[in-house]
């Protein structure tokens, strides 16, 4: 993992996002910048735990990390944040030679922390204090979870700027086949997390992320609509599975939807749920739906 660009602080890890690289090279920005105002060159991608309750077929990451017992750092959450930012800066060193020196200098001080790199960060007991530290420095946080730890989600005293729950199946059978939970009640846990998302109201920006795998979960838009009603998110991101990394050994190339496939299914979800089809970001093959 270190050879592929990960840098570790105990269980925590940082890695430069491809869109951060592109932004610094003047090759475009991420849809997070277009839709949520996050500057791609000032976004730090990280994770706070190597543990995960699912083994999703479409995940491009290696599951070998999940089977290893990682060394737990004894540092306080704010110190872990400092150390991750330092790792982030070291990974950015090679971009200092690009023409836009100002953007490179700005990138040294991330203004958004995307807690989405690998694993399930809700396993990290200091998540509250970590996000609080980011917010106290004037930054924003995007937290991505599969929703299999509802008891932790409901107990957060500090909420992220964007709370993402990754919902990639319209029913329990599809969830078990595609997301492959390692806990028996994974689906029920995710359903409780959707109820929690609903209860948060306007306390944070709430997003359902749906990764579409052709021939696997691009079906039953009405089923997804029921989950959307349950969660009451502010936004829905319908995104194509990308045939990358170790997912290539689990899924065939034709499981990756074409942009037209994603747009068509996103519109079907829009019609079934009442959410408005807002935009499509072609480079990432992701559509945005929003409440009316």
Question: Between residues 96 and 164, which one has the greater pLDDT?
Answer: 164
Residue 2 in domain = no
Residue 228 in domain = yes
**CATH for 120:** 3.20.20.70
% of the chain residues with pLDDT over 90: 85
Confidence band of 99 (pLDDT split at 50, 70, 90): low
Output the average pLDDT for the chain. 94
Please measure the distance between the N-terminal and C-terminal CA atoms of the chain and give it in whole angstroms. 42
In terms of C-beta distances under 8 Å and separation of at least 24 residues, what long-range contacts does 31-35 make, across chains too? 31/281, 31/283, 31/284, 31/286, 31/288, 32/112, 32/114, 32/142, 34/279, 34/281, 35/235, 35/279, 35/281, 35/288
Residue 207 in domain = yes
Domains contained in the chain, number = 1
pLDDT exceeds 60 at position 70: no
User: Model-level pTM?
Assistant: 0.94
Domain of residue 73, residue span: 7-290
């Amino acid at each position: 993992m270190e050879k592929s660009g990960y840098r570790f602080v105990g269980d925590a890890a940082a890695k430069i996002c491809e869109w951060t690289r592109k932004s610094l090279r003047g090759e475009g920005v991420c849809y997070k910048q277009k839709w949520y105002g996050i500057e791609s060159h000032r976004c730090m991608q990280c994770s706070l735990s190597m543990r995960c309750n699912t083994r999703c077929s479409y995940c491009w990451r290696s599951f070998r990390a999940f089977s290893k017992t990682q060394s737990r750092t004894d540092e306080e959450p704010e110190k872990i944040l400092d150390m991750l930012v330092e790792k982030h800066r070291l990974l950015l060193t090679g971009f200092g030679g690009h023409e836009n020196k100002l953007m490179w200098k700005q990138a040294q001080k991330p203004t958004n922390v995307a807690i989405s790199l690998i694993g399930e960060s809700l396993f990290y007991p200091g998540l509250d204090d970590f996000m609080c530290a980011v917010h106290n420095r004037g930054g924003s946080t995007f937290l991505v979870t599969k929703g299999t730890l509802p008891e932790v989600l409901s107990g957060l005293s500090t909420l992220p700027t964007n709370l993402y729950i990754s919902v990639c199946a319209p029913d329990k059978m599809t969830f078990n086949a595609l997301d492959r939970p390692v806990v028996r009640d994974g689906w029920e846990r995710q359903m409780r997390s959707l109820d929690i998302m609903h209860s948060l109201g306007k306390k944070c920006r709430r997003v359902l992320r749906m990764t579409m795998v052709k021939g696997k979960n691009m079906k039953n838009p009405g089923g997804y609509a029921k989950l959307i009603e349950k969660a009451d998110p502010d936004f829905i991101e319908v995104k194509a599975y990308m045939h990358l990394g170790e997912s290539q050994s689990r899924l065939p190339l034709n499981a990756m939807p074409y942009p037209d496939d994603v747009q068509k299914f996103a519109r079907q979800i829009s019609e079934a749920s009442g959410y408005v089809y807002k935009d499509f970001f072609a480079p990432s093959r992701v559509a945005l739906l929003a409440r009316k």
